Structure 1
């Protein structure tokens, strides 16, 4: 009889999704080897927002308390107009929210979450290799054969292609390319005691300071937005500035550099303008996604994580989608292989594809729309602001689809 404990799984890509998949499958007894092309494990970036759809996954692996100890539980998600700093709406993340969704919304440094998952995957018995670039995966009968750049081959029952936005393995399924949004992101994470007074402070009713920053605050404005929230127990300030690149609009090959940042927020409130002084200027992130695709499977290989569904950041669900993928394939594989049928892995990949593609593709397309909504100007901005102000803040009708989801047979929340 086939079982997951008798299966060998290879994973291409050692980011958050790859580490989560290695953990989820190794915990259930699979023999897992992960290939990461970098010389060592690590995540580039700053803060991550993890909704309750991610918290529940981490809790199922016994990692939520560790993650919360390294992160921050914000009180609210707050949206403000970037031109006036007027509060438009908020989502209370307190007791009722947690009861509704079965988990908290928290923020954590990307490298902290990644290291938690890597350590847990190792402890579960996964083999994690660095300095290994995956060149190709082919299916031979009921086996997947993975080839690395050094010419070595590795056989397994299945390969998970989790090699990111620029996935080379996606080309086996789709000839599409990453799609530029024309927007660029700058980030900065600094100790609170190194930033000027007022930067790590929650704005008051107008633009005046009212107290230490305990919320996730998003200033949304014409052609730009600016996000602030605390990290690491409130000892650090995380900031993200995103704006439409004039260089991209002009058709320049190189666009989004620090010269563009200098004037990107001139039309915004001084509170926002001054905050841009505390961003890294030696690195920036042009924002890309990919169009949705329905098929993620090629023989015994499946695309997961950003290789399958790289989103724009507006719904704060990129990392969580990859974590959901990891739990989904581990759970489905355990269920299918327990039946002892010869095509159990083929059935597993088909079932995961059918379960996950509609969910993730909706996040991709909704994220694009959400970004357009944030960045409206003129009369459209006025109408958007009025819509936000009039929102029933006690209603969950617009968020249940995102945060109540579960890949289990029954939904996480009865809606």
Structure 2
């Protein structure tokens, strides 16, 4: 057997880079395994709430993130059909005082770049690209990873941050992605080309029957990130022929003029069908654990995918610090702490999606009445998501 690496992190996305940063700062030698030819991130905008910012602060990269972030004044919920405001969450001092951090929006690749630079600044992190994991097997003293390029690697500890279709998860669980019947069209428009009259100091979410549209600026407000989501009534689990641009136009057909104007460039965006996984009962063994979407892929409706991966990274780092050489204990304590938390967020995302996309008139009336009668600085429904948890400095 060749060299047995100390820690291998499978996946060079936001969660994998965050975990590598934290663990390397403990003095461990970390190898980052990435299936693509280079480290990068696909996508456009990303929302990061106070809990994600708290984790980034713990990892020591928050100041660099702030340099690239946009700080919205409010998150405004709009009726997609009438174009009227339903409710808002006021950011600013009262929000930061309650949760310890603000709320930001940022280009996904900008956050990824900050974390990648943090990894590159540490001498005990090495990088392997063009290494797509094919199979993983755990032995008493090490873990073996076989890659599609033919290379075989061994490690004392493996962290699977390889996404919703994780090969690492196959060692620990038979869980498969669950299709939601919803489709997202993600696209960006230069601010100079926006033809609608909107206050871009705010983040907007337009909600309607089976649809929603999110809009906010990134990159110092030079680009508007937009995500149009709709329920596909042509969904068929046996084919990919659903969620088309024609369905997009049809589903948003009754929406207000502002939305129709906003969607003119939607067909040029990244189209993804939305999946999550059922909450897992176990995601760690003696030497292998999961992190991010591989452990708890969730629907996007609470904007918590990246935030929960960042929380994972900090928690795992702390468990590895406090348990020293007892890796099995560290991984078990990590899963014991994180599984209840992430399962709650997974289920919460599904529920909020149902509320946001409500189609029957009674549910919509109840939802809108509650939203119209809450104040913008009423944060009680956000406490469970954003308030400080046990995250120690690394």
3-state DSSP class of the match of 1:89?
A: strand
Asked whether 1:164 is paired with 2:163, we answer yes
Which of 252, 271, 276 is equivalent to 2:258?
A: 271
Residues 245, 267 of structure 2: 8 Å contact kept = no
Distance in 2 of aligned mates of 1:391 and 1:362: 24
Matched with 1:205 is: none
Q: 1:402 maps to which residue? A: 385
- Structure 1 unaligned runs (5+)? 1-5, 203-212, 411-415
Partner of 2:8: 10
Match of 1:246 among 218, 227, 233: 233
TM-score, structure 2 normalization:
0.94
Is the deviation greater in 138-147 or in 21-30?
138-147
| Aligned twin of 1:3 | none
Whether 1:389 aligns to 2:372 is yes
Q: Summarize the alignment of residues 106-125 of structure 1 with structure 2, pairs less than 5 Å apart.
A: 106-125=104-123
Tell me what 1:310 maps to: 297
Q: How far 1:185 sits from its partner (Å)?
A: 0.4
| Aligned mates of 2:6, 2:262 — CA distance in 1 | 49
Describe the SS at the equivalent of 2:30. Answer: strand
Going from structure 1 to structure 2, the CA distance change for 1:129 and 1:409 (only over 3 Å counts) comes to closer
- Residue 405 of structure 1 deviates from its aligned partner by 4.1
Q: Could you say what the CA RMSD is over the residues aligned between the two structures, in angstroms?
A: 1.9
Structure 1 window deviating more from structure 2 (88-97 vs 150-159): it is 150-159
Alignment of 1:148-297 (within 5 A): 148-198=147-197, 201-202=198-199, 213-248=200-235, 253-281=240-268, 283-297=270-284
**Superposed displacement of residue 113, structure 1:** 0.6
The separation in 1 between residues aligned to 2:377 and 2:222, in whole angstroms, is: 31
Contact 2:5 2:31 in 1 (8 A): no
1:355 maps to 2:337: yes
Q: CA contact under 8 A between 1:258 and 1:281: conserved in structure 2?
A: no
Q: Is the 8 A contact 1:146 1:159 kept in 2?
A: no
Alpha-carbon deviation of 1:152? 2.8
CA distance in 1, matches of 2:389, 2:320: 16
What's 1:83 paired with? Answer: 81
Alpha-carbon separation, structure 2, partners of 1:108 and 1:283:
17
CA deviation profile, 1:30-55 (whole Å, cap 9, x unmatched): 10001000111111111000001011
**CA distance in 2 between partners of 1:405 and 1:175 (Å):** 33
CA deviation map 1:68-88 (0-9, x unaligned): 211200011111111112211
Asked if structure 2 preserves the Cα contact closer than 8 Å seen for 1:324 and 1:407, the reply is: no
Q: Give 1:252 deviation, angstroms.
A: 5.0
Q: Residue in 2 aligned with 1:413?
A: none
Q: Following TM superposition, by how much is the alpha carbon of 1:280 offset from its aligned partner in structure 2, in angstroms?
A: 4.3
Number of residue pairs aligned between Structure 1 and Structure 2: 388
When the two structures are superposed, what TM-score results if normalisation uses the length of structure 1? 0.89
| Distance in structure 2 (CA, Å) of the matches to 1:321 and 1:383 | 30
Distance 1:7 1:173 in 2: 21
Structure 2 residue ranges without an equivalent (≥5)? none
Deviation per residue, 1:259-298 (Å, 9 max, x gap): 2222221111111111111324353011111111120013
Paired residue for 1:370? 352
Deviation per CA, 1:166-220, whole angstroms, max 9, x where unpaired?
A: 112212222221111101000111210122242xx22xxxxxxxxxx11111001
